[in-house]
Chains A and B, each alone.
Chain A
Amino acid sequence: MAEDKILSKTPLHKLHVAHGGRMVSFAGYSLPVQYQGGIVKEHLHTRNAAGLFDVSHMGQLEVSGENRAAAIERLVPADVNGLAKGQVCYSQFTNGEGGILDDLLISNNGDRLGLVVNAACKDADIKHLKEHLPESCGLHYLQKRALLALQGPKTVQVLKRHCDIDFDQFGFMTRRHAVLFGVEVVLSRSGYTGEDGFEISVDGEKAERLAECLLGEKEVLLAGLGARDSLRLEAGLCLYGQDLDESTTPVEANLEWSVGARRRNSGDFIGADVVLEQLASGTTRKRVGLAPEGRAPLRGGTQLRDSAGVDVGKITSGGFSPTLGSPVAMGYVASTCAAIGTKFFAELRGKTISATVVPMPMVQTQYYRIKN
């Protein structure tokens, strides 16, 4: 099972190894799937206190140029032009059939737009952007920046001690420049766990020192890719390549909330004809949350049948929920049988196991809203 390909390392590689990270290959990077405490401990710690994740493998890009918002709007269904300075939104790059090439965060960084894309897609995304951006726009790949995520209910109390900004007025899906432990960072109140928390963009050379400072706080524990995956699954968040792909549209994926209201009228993004038609008339399949019976997880790829034995869908992500103490999954089923409470049947090692459609998120999200 030797891998010929040399894996990229993030600026925190040494730190992962020093902290007992079990390094695995992920999207061309060597990253920790877990540390010594294990996935369940890291997962529950993030739900109860604060988990620190290295997400430096993700692509941090910026687009400059006067007409940057209009140029990016051609590629995504989000209302990019409507983003206030410091605001962040979730969107997708779509293809001509409305399928998803990648999902990403877009932010208004003032004189530029910020994009954070998936590691596995970033080369293709850069190519896609270069092909479609007009010459008046510049594309900047912030390759030397690291990205940390500090997630969990105690994140704010940790940051407050070492960062002099008003966190009460710092809403979910906004970003700000700040100085944290004396290091210049950009904080974005966002994440991939369903918890309140921040993604912290920092110069790669200062990332290790910053991470060690954060780890010195009693609330903070390192968490790996394993916990990141189980946390996002509980939160009902999609993983590109599993729950989203080029043959899946934002409407099928239950992401229509991310299609900007203005964009529904203008219809001027790639694949808009398909997406708008689906918004008007519905889709034949839909992404749903699922609760399998018993304790055995149903994994991605498991076929789902209705009570008559007809194939009606497939699980795309499935695992065990440490928070609920039971298996959870998400997948695509025929829209005609996607209602909450609908029961499907799956084969698992010769046994038939039922899985019931449940609301997403499977674990309540805790995003911070500004109180007046």
Chain B
Amino acid sequence: MTDVKYSKDHEWLTLDGEIATIGITSFAQQQLGDVVFVELPAVGKTVVKGDEVAVVESVKAAAEVYTPVSGEVSEVNAALDSAPETVNSDPQGGAWFFKIRLSDTTELDSLMDSAAYDEFAVEEG
């Protein structure tokens, strides 16, 4: 199984070489409720860890998605435009948000593993 890392802002990240795939966690989508719209960053955009790079709109409210790593946006999941509800049904699979070509791999060290995130999310919930 792929190694999944987690941020305190409830994003998940998997790594394939120097490309990180990022989405929001199952806990995050549960908190948001029914997702009706996702706004994704432009491909090619340079982002810095902690930047607000995407927005998730649920029926009730909008929530920002922050990038847990710095680099360049290499790809976005355009399928979310027409099927934003996948964020609820498959948050940590088909509903990835964007991919980033990492500029600083040491940033990965500050992310949590699955066990640490589960504990963190329980406290937040």
Contact = CB atoms under 8 A, between A and B. Distances in A.
B59 interface: yes
B84 interface: yes
Nearest to B32: A38
Number of chain B interface residues as a range: 10 to 19
Contacts of A40: 34, 59
A172 interface: no
Contacts of B81: 295
A319 B55 contact: no
A320 B58 CA distance: 8
B9 interface: no
Interface residues of A, number: 18
A296 B60 contact: no
Given A34-B33, A38-B34, A40-B34, A319 B59 contact: yes
Contacts of A226: 33, 59-60
A34 B60 CA distance: 11
A33 interface: yes
A348 B60 CA distance: 16
B63 interface: no
A161 interface: no
Contacts of B36: 295, 297, 320
A188 interface: no
A320 B61 CA distance: 10
A41 B59 CA distance: 11
B37 A322 contact: no
A39 B55 CA distance: 19
Interface string A35-55: 000111101000000000000
28 contacts: A34-B33, A38-B34, A38-B88, A39-B34, A39-B58, A39-B60, A40-B34, A40-B59, A41-B34, A226-B33, A226-B59, A229-B60, A230-B59, A295-B36, A295-B37, A295-B81, A295-B84, A296-B37, A296-B57, A297-B36, A297-B62, A319-B59, A320-B57, A320-B59, A322-B34, A322-B59, A349-B39, A349-B55
Q: Which are the 7 A-B pairs with shortest beta-carbon distances?
A: A320-B36, A40-B34, A295-B37, A39-B59, A296-B37, A38-B34, A320-B59
